[in-house]
Structure 1
């Protein structure tokens, strides 16, 4: 039995990159990728429902480490205001975990839809930025958990009720998850500066000139974002953000040196400053004399065209 080899045409990625796909095909591809991404989130939601209890036990550790919360070796229970609060909280945790578990799939589907519109070097740098963004977000989340662990006791001790007060479970979990998300997004700030530098919007020298403003913004953001009004959480977050900023500036200097930026003739001149005039340039030599123009010969006479009878033969 003979099998014929069928010639495969260009892939959807190649057709989308060269612009040969129609609008209907783009919409159909978007529908398929949204379906795959939703399916991955649903599968992750099922896994997150199974892991919701261990995640809750991890998030309640700062609460259990408060003074007076451990009774006979067990942590005191949270306060619930409605019968369905526990189930709704479990669904919220399952959704968060499902988004994390399904992130490789739905991020790939998003990237596969956007990547054909980018150039080759843009796709290469996008891989690098995504590989850096995930560890930065994880580091910010870990720092947020540490700050909540250290700052929660201060918040309760500073109040009028004392540390023996029970906390409402949904508000406590929302407080912890919001802090994790806020710190994780804040740690992406240096990556934004690198994207601006790699795309040529700002130079490393210009980024370094903003260091006073950036350090002030880091401390102001840390003072507002951290739950601990004391100096521990605010200083820790501000120092981490400032350190990441200076690391990003150092990488930007390496990138500018690799691309040869800053070596232009007027690179040190500000945009609102007139460029200096230099008079030590090589003098312009006198031009060579132009010779006389030779006369143009008269055109040859055009031969008289043949008549129609003599122009074609019998065949034509």
Structure 2
């Protein structure tokens, strides 16, 4: 189906089937890219797995107790290999699926909005990687602190699948949390969510960010928790300011359009036009 130009379709309206078809195509491209990158993740599996399980080995050495990762099933080691490879593929393919997300949103934006949004969406990749990096640094502390409640003379034989799920969720939760402000700006640019609506939820955002930081860095050092909370809260409020400014600009533009339409509707009909109208009726 041929795409309509912005002049013939100024609102960039699409039928529901076209939206679903576009979403499906973008999703397929993202999935293919992730699977291809997962093949590369297969070769990185052993060094990554060694780095992930290193906190458990440190616990066993420093605390002089049994602590190890347990592969309980016959196929569990292969299942973990596939899961870790796919997770690595998701990270390696992040530039592609972030671009596909942007390409799906972009047709709904006007030219100026595209220019503004391009810079914000272009920040999604470094923010995603920044969230991964912070979570990776905090991961050993989280593992060490959460296992320190084990009673003396007891062992930690941690199921491999359970441990990998914990690490993957920890990494992805922080990575996605850092991208959420960019997503809020994109949704606002589409006109689906106003900045005041986002601002009203700031209390819940602060509570959730504090909870996430407390779980990730549950040590006694309050500064560590603050270092995790600060960038997330700063990004959120920067996104709110951008959304409020965009709403203000959009409201002014719509008011000018409405004012112009109203002026055209209130304009009196000239006498010559009335005479021509009378001739036509005759």
- Is the structural similarity TM-score above 0.5? yes
Unaligned runs of 5+ in 1: 1-9, 262-316
- 1:45-90 CA distances to partner (integer Å, 9 max, x unpaired)? 222222222221221222222242799xxx9852111111110000
Is 1:85 paired with 2:76? yes
- C-alpha separation in 1, matches of 2:74 and 2:202: 51
Equivalent pair of 1:157/1:163 in contact (CA under 8 Å): no
Task: Report the 3-state secondary structure (helix = DSSP H, G, I; strand = E; otherwise coil) of the residue aligned with 1:160.
Answer: coil
**Residue correspondence of structure 1 range 183-262 to structure 2 within 5 A:** 183-188=174-179, 190-191=181-182, 201-202=194-195, 215-223=206-214, 225-226=215-216, 228=218, 230-232=219-221, 236-246=224-234, 249=237
> Whose relative contact order is higher, 1 or 2, with alpha carbons under 8 Å and at least 6 apart?
2
What displacement does 1:149 show? Answer: 1.0
**Residue correspondence of structure 1 range 55-66 to structure 2 within 5 A:** 55-66=48-59
Task: Report the 3-state secondary structure (helix = DSSP H, G, I; strand = E; otherwise coil) of the residue aligned with 1:158.
Answer: coil
Which residue of 1 is the match for residue 38 of structure 2? 45
Task: Report the 3-state secondary structure (helix = DSSP H, G, I; strand = E; otherwise coil) of the residue aligned with 2:83.
Answer: helix
Q: Compare the two structures and name the one with the higher helix fraction.
A: 2
* Cα gap change, 1:53 to 1:29, in 2 (>3 Å): same
- C-alpha separation in 1, matches of 2:155 and 2:205: 40
> Which protein shows a greater Rg?
1
Unaligned runs of 5+ in 2: 250-282
Equivalent pair of 1:196/1:202 in contact (CA under 8 Å): no
- Counting matched residue pairs gives 244
Aligned-pair RMSD on alpha carbons? 4.5
- C-alpha separation in 2, matches of 1:45 and 1:82: 23
Which residue of 2 is the match for residue 124 of structure 1? 115
* Cα gap change, 1:128 to 1:13, in 2 (>3 Å): farther
* Cα gap change, 1:22 to 1:242, in 2 (>3 Å): closer
**Residue correspondence of structure 1 range 123-202 to structure 2 within 5 A:** 123-160=114-151, 165-188=156-179, 190-191=181-182, 201-202=194-195
- C-alpha separation in 1, matches of 2:177 and 2:17: 39
Equivalent pair of 1:79/1:169 in contact (CA under 8 Å): yes
Relative to the length of structure 2, the TM-score reads 0.64
Relative to the length of structure 1, the TM-score reads 0.58
What displacement does 1:16 show? Answer: 11
